[in-house]
A and B are shown apart, each in its own frame.
Chain A
Amino acid sequence: MPDKAQKGDWVQIHKIVLPAGERAPQVPEDTAQVPLEMKVKGTLLDQEASLGDTVSIRTAVGRVLEGTLVAINPSYDISYGPPPAELRSVGEELRKILKGGDC
């Protein structure tokens, strides 16, 4: 990932919505000790910015939001991961039962 973004780049910003200590009264202790954070993506409105800079973006619906630049053209890193050993033989086991093997 490049560390400098240009105007018009697709970027992600980060913002603290509620600092620790200002959380809702009903949250459990572990949650109360950390801030409520927000991340959102949009196109960069500043001419040029580096990671960590405070920037403005225009979101997909045209809203202008401000926050800290945390990613430039962020990728979707979700994956399937490896087939887990705990599930690998389930299909074979069930087909055996269906075919009349012992269960």
Chain B
Amino acid sequence: MKPRDYKSVMARRGEIMRASVGIDYSKYSIGRLAFDYERMMKETGYSLEEVKRIQKEANVGNTPLIELKNLTSLVRKLSEPGYGARIFVKDEANNPARSFKDRRASLSVFHAKRAGYPGVVAATSGNYGAAVASQAARSNLGCIIVQEMFDSRGYEQPEIAEKGRACEAYGAEVLQLSVGPELFYMFLLVLEDTGYFNASLYTPFSIAGIETLGTEIVEQVRDLTGKDPDYIVSTHAGGGITTGTARGVLKAGSFGTKIIGASVNLQGLHMASDRDFNRKSFTTGHTGFGIPFAVWPDRSDVPRNAARVLRYLDGYVTVTQGSVFYITEALAQLEGLERGPAGNTSLTAAFALARTLPEDHVVVVNETEYTGAGKHPYAQLAFAKKMGVEVKRGNPKDEVPGKNIVIPERPEQIACTEISLNKLRESYVRHACSSLGEERKLSQVDVEFLAEDSRLDKDEVLRLLAENEVVVE
């Protein structure tokens, strides 16, 4: 039997991954860092037509696009005359497991079944677990979900507890772990023990499954307004929704649509800290995933992450936890839609953005997710108070993640904080440099890849490489 200690299992990471994803990623390497992204997507993904067919068969997608007329009116009351864009929301809570994650899961599970794997494993504390479990159930495949769920005192994050319940309702085995990145070690062991498929969020299948979200949005906006969407605001975490949607938007021929990512601001909280774990009220859609995955996508559970947001983002903003809870309440009270809360991160950003845009502009909120016990502002705020986080009405500017949650006093206090994309692009190149170790040499093909992947000028990449003592041959 192979050794099962942490170091030995992590050392087998490459071979476990190859067996569990079935992709030989080395095939796409064209330099030391460079790889052919589009070729990988083409050869290992599915065509848009195939994805549509698979999702139709799985009852996934074709969700409604709803105009939020009362929220738009509210925005206009708070805006300069002539301003206040029309806000639409893509109601992804209408999918079988009630979030857009069904799009990714339907493709991953279809692929696992076709490739002959006996089951699927996913490492996720979020909606993706329920989506994979749901799709596995209808495909007669075994399903194991590995969650980071409780702290050392045994306190369970209510939202994750609810997701665990949903996964078990769909017949999955749920491994619930305490806080720590060694979840990945456990995940590798499970893959090795079972021979199941790694239903990673970041494979080409998973990202191809989201492209229909982009094409549907464009088609529905054209149908409802006679024009292309001006902005699509997505809740941004690992980068899948932003990447997949943007690729779909381009495939639908909408080239002027601006792609905006929005995350809940959790800066200052350490994502691997046992203490900080339950001092946050959002378990996804936050900066703890959003920033690291933007600047170094290949930190994921596959060697080459197919979600590469810097290629697609036109803007990246943060909003506060309290603002998202406020907007979640507004969505229920003014539009009759009880959704979220995490999915409403994008709605919160869209609400602030719409105030700055002319009335004839169209902003699409990507997307809604279901709500329920544990996964609701009431449950999150009650839990935050129990964990010693102060909850109060006030100016969201005064919110300090982990210390307090400030519910806005007035809707005009809801604002986006812009994160410099240029800084993220530079940080991406620095991460690339630090991945090189002592052999600090790259070729021209790597420089071109880094420029394409970060959307920086080639000269800018060369400047950053020189600054980091990397030689280009």
Q: Taking beta carbons and an 8 Å cutoff, which residues of A are in contact with B? A: 17-18, 22-24, 26-28, 30-31, 34-42, 59-63, 76-84, 86-87, 90-91, 93-95, 97-98, 103
Contacts and interface: CB of A to CB of B under 8 A. Distances in A.
Contacts, number: 157
Nearest to B165: A76
B198 to A, nearest CB: 15
B274 A78 contact: no
Given A30-B274, A62-B142, A95 B172 contact: no
B8 interface: no
Given A63-B194, A87-B407, A98-B334, A31 B77 contact: no
Nearest to B383: A81
Contacts of A42: 173
B320 to A, nearest CB: 13
Contacts of B382: 81-82, 84
Contacts of A80: 373, 376, 378-379
Contacts of A87: 325-326, 329, 377-378, 381, 407
For the complex of A and B, 10 pairs with smallest distance between CB atoms: A91-B333, A81-B382, A78-B374, A34-B152, A61-B142, A59-B173, A37-B178, A84-B381, A60-B173, A86-B407
B171 A38 contact: no
A78 B329 CA distance: 20
Contacts of A79: 373-374, 379
Contact of A40 (B175, B379, B407, B410): B175
A86 B381 contact: yes
B6 A18 contact: yes
A78 B371 CA distance: 13
A82 B275 CA distance: 25
A83 B142 contact: no
Given A31-B273, A84-B378, A95 B177 contact: no
B326 A38 contact: no
B250 to A, nearest CB: 36
Contacts of B186: 17, 36, 38
A94 B6 contact: no
B112 to A, nearest CB: 14
24 contacts: A17-B185, A18-B180, A22-B6, A23-B180, A23-B182, A27-B180, A40-B175, A41-B174, A59-B144, A60-B168, A60-B173, A61-B173, A79-B374, A79-B379, A80-B373, A86-B381, A87-B326, A87-B381, A91-B332, A91-B333, A97-B77, A97-B78, A103-B77, A103-B410
B19 interface: no
Interface in B269-320: 270, 272-275
B340 to A, nearest CB: 13
Given A26-B272, A27-B272, A82-B382, A103 B78 contact: yes
Given A84-B378, A103-B412, A26 B181 contact: yes
A63 B144 CA distance: 10
Nearest to B164: A76
B356 to A, nearest CB: 17
Range for the number of chain B residues in contact with chain A: 35 or more
A98 B70 contact: yes
Nearest to B326: A90
A31 B330 contact: no
Contacts of A31: 179-180, 272-274
Interface string B77-111: 11000000000000000000000000000000000
Most-contacted residue by chain A among B142, B143, B182, B334 (CB, 10 A): B182
A61 to B, nearest CB: 4
A12 to B, nearest CB: 9
Nearest to B121: A61
A27 B173 contact: no
Interface string B391-412: 1110000000000000100111
Contacts of A37: 150, 152, 177-178
Contacts of A17: 177, 182, 185-186
B273 A30 contact: yes
A7 B238 CA distance: 42
B435 interface: no
Given A31-B179, A34-B178, A76 B161 contact: yes
Contacts of A90: 326, 329-330, 333, 407
Contacts of A34: 152, 178, 274
A98 B77 CA distance: 7
A36 to B, nearest CB: 5
A47 to B, nearest CB: 23
Interface string B363-390: 0000000000110111101110000000
A14 to B, nearest CB: 10
Contacts of B432: none
B129 interface: no
B444 interface: no
A95 B381 contact: no
Nearest to B179: A31
